[in-house]
Amino acid sequence: MVRVARQAASRGAADSSVLAPRLDTREARSMSRLTLVSLALSVALVGCDTPLLGNDDSALINLSPGPHQGGVGSGEPSTPAGVVGYSQETGAATLDEAVALLAEVRATLELPPAAVVSTLTAAAQAHAEYVAANQDYHKANGISPHREVAQLAGFTGAAPADRVDYAGYGGLYIGEVIGYQPKPVGTMQAWLESLYHRLPLIRREAVEVGIGGALGDAIAAHVVEVGTNSEAFSAASSGTYPLVAYPPNGALDVPASWSGLEAPQPTPPPAGYPSGPVLTLSATIGAIAVETAEVRPIGGEPVAVTLLTAQNDEHLQGRDVAVIPHLPLSPGVRYELAITGQWQGKAFAWTSTFTTRPESCALYERGCGAGRACYAHGGELECLWEGVGTAGDECRYLDDCQGGLTCLGSRCRPLCEDAGGANGCDAMCPGESLLASGIDGVSACLGLACTSDSCGAGQGCYWLDGLACGWSGNLGLGADCTYANDCRAGLSCLGSPGQQHKCHALCGGSGMPSCDVVCNTSPFSLSAQLGLKACL
């Protein structure tokens, strides 16, 4: 393998260069891609002080029609151009993972299982394909993703209820949730960690679901349609059932913080998000009147929290209580949730416990929970939403790639251990250049060296302690720069420690232009082994 000397404090040095790749996450660079949206529709009211199925519409997005509003579509919908529906490729297995996660959660909460219904699935799949194809139009015109515009490709109905009717669903419709994590199981986990998207999925009466997913040019869109049947509705309306807490009592590996990336967003804590995890307590029927609500580490003092009920949050029903710690909780600590009040005419005192996830993670182990993986980010190992890219796939953010990989230049590259072994650099990337990951003992495999014309459209060959393709910038020769690929193709960002970096031309070596052709100044050596030089 090729190792190039580097100076740890340098972004890039004249003849021991380190050119910082963009190692951003999707959340840091594109928060809107992680924002959740949801809608739940009224079905019916029951004879008690809290509706069983009616009012989830006020709990979530307040819709307004777009510039075009159509009725229910006719004929078979076709997949919009440029969109790949999960039903058309290998994504069905990943949809099954999301369904399995929901089934596991409902079983843990001692709720009836939610059966996958073909008509709800058809409606969810068609709308996922519509959202993936038309997201830009909806953003530009301020239209909720729960609405469809008749003139756009993939239209099957203006409102969610129209679309499930179009698909032939004969049950009682509850609502729709939409999310955009790279993997369906990650989207399901994000819904469960949120507030308003969680509740429709853990209703006792929500015994029928359909899930769909689609890949567009810029997003993965996932949709779940939720419904019930007359038997489940009657049982929920007439029975006596215990309160339901989430996270479940005794839960382990609960994320210590929550980003607040949900639309609508719950009332922010005084210092803003991130907050602690969202804790909820819900009844099947009957309003909950809260008198006290506390969250504390076992044996410790209470932490500051925001209490949300129907009295101060128009998006909640009377049967729901949410408690959100103002600040992220401590990792690896057991906490207690305690709520007292009145429910169904009687005093109640609820207590449950949960333990937050440890602070760090192991790079090659699946210890980050459903939908997440361990990444090297900012010099630390951190659990992030897992991407789908495999080694060699194009990427823009480090978590576009699967766990155990990172995004260097424009490609997903393996992370390897300097010490050797099964995950050692010699085994995982023989003959490749290595770039320090910022984690002691862990490097990133750069892949085989690129040439001036071997990278894809919109990319260039850059120096990152080795040659690697990257999305090309637009800065010219001699321009001030920060990242390797701030510069246009054929150039790379180089500099000495403590000095302003500048875009230099790369020359010499296999597949690179002659230094005599591109240099105005004397070239200097970047890699004697590769024969690579740089110049202004």
Every domain of the chain and the residues it spans: 88-238, 244-356, 372-446, 460-535
Token duo for residue 186:
């990650």
Is 60 exceeded by the pLDDT of residue 514? Answer: yes
> pTM for the whole thing?
0.79
Peptide bond into 414 cis (omega under 30): no
For 169-223, the pLDDT digits (tens) are 999 999 999 999 889 999 999 999 999 999 999 999 999 999 999 988 778 899 9
Does residue 92 carry a pLDDT above 90?
no
Among 65-69, 139-143, 144-148, 267-271, the minimum mean pLDDT is found in 65-69
What is 88-238's CATH number, 3.40.50.2300, 3.40.33.10, 3.40.50.2000, 3.40.1110.10?
Answer: 3.40.33.10
Q: What's the CA gap between 322 and 363, in Å, rounded?
A: 34
- Residue 283: band (very low, low, confident or very high) from pLDDT cuts 50, 70, 90: very high
pLDDT for 355-405, tens place per residue? Answer: 999 988 888 888 899 999 999 888 888 899 999 899 988 888 888 899 999
Residue 526 has pLDDT above 50, yes or no: yes
Residue from 385, 387, 506, 370 nearest 12 by CA: 506
> Cα(92)–Cα(194) distance, rounded to whole angstroms?
25
Residue 431: pLDDT band (50, 70, 90) is confident
Contact between residue 479 and residue 17 where contact means Cβ atoms under 8 Å apart: no
What single DSSP character describes residue 57? T
* Upper half-sphere CA count for residue 312 (Cβ side, 13 Å): 11
314 vs 303: CA distance, rounded Å: 25
Same fold for the pair 88-238 and 244-356 = no
Q: Is the pLDDT of residue 452 over 90?
A: no
Task: Supply the DSSP string of 61-103, one letter for each residue.
Answer: ------S-------S---PPTT-EEGGGSTTHHHHHHHHHHHH
Q: Which of 245, 271, 269, 251 is nearest to 333 (CA)?
A: 251
Rg of the chain in Å (alpha carbons): 26
Q: Is the separation of the CB atoms in 203 and 110 below 8 Å?
A: no
CA 533 from chain centre, in angstroms, equals 40
Q: In the prediction, which pLDDT does 87 show?
A: 55
User: For the CA atoms of 437, 442, 448, 451, what is the dihedral angle to 10 degrees?
Assistant: 20
pLDDT bin (cut points 50, 70, 90) of residue 65 is very low
pLDDT band at 83, cuts 50/70/90?
low
Query: Which residue has 């409102």 as its token pair?
Result: 159
Q: pLDDT at residue 7 above 50? A: no
What whole-number distance in Å separates Cα of residue 461 and Cα of residue 448?
A: 12
CA-CA-CA-CA torsion for 269, 275, 281, 282, nearest 10 degrees? 80
In whole angstroms, how far apart are CA 484 and each of 77, 412, 495?
45, 17, 10
Q: Give 244-356's CATH code, choosing from 2.60.40.10, 3.40.50.300, 2.60.40.1220, 3.10.450.50.
A: 2.60.40.1220
Report pLDDT digits (tens) over 11-27: 222 222 233 333 455 55
- If pLDDT is split at 50, 70 and 90, which confidence band does 93 have? low
% of the chain surpassing 90 pLDDT: 57
Rounded distance, CA 172 to CA 182, Å? 30
What is the pLDDT at residue 466? Answer: 82
- CB contact at 8 A, 397 and 410: no
Closest by Cα among 58, 508, 497, 46 to 238: 46
Q: Is the pLDDT of residue 28 over 60?
A: no
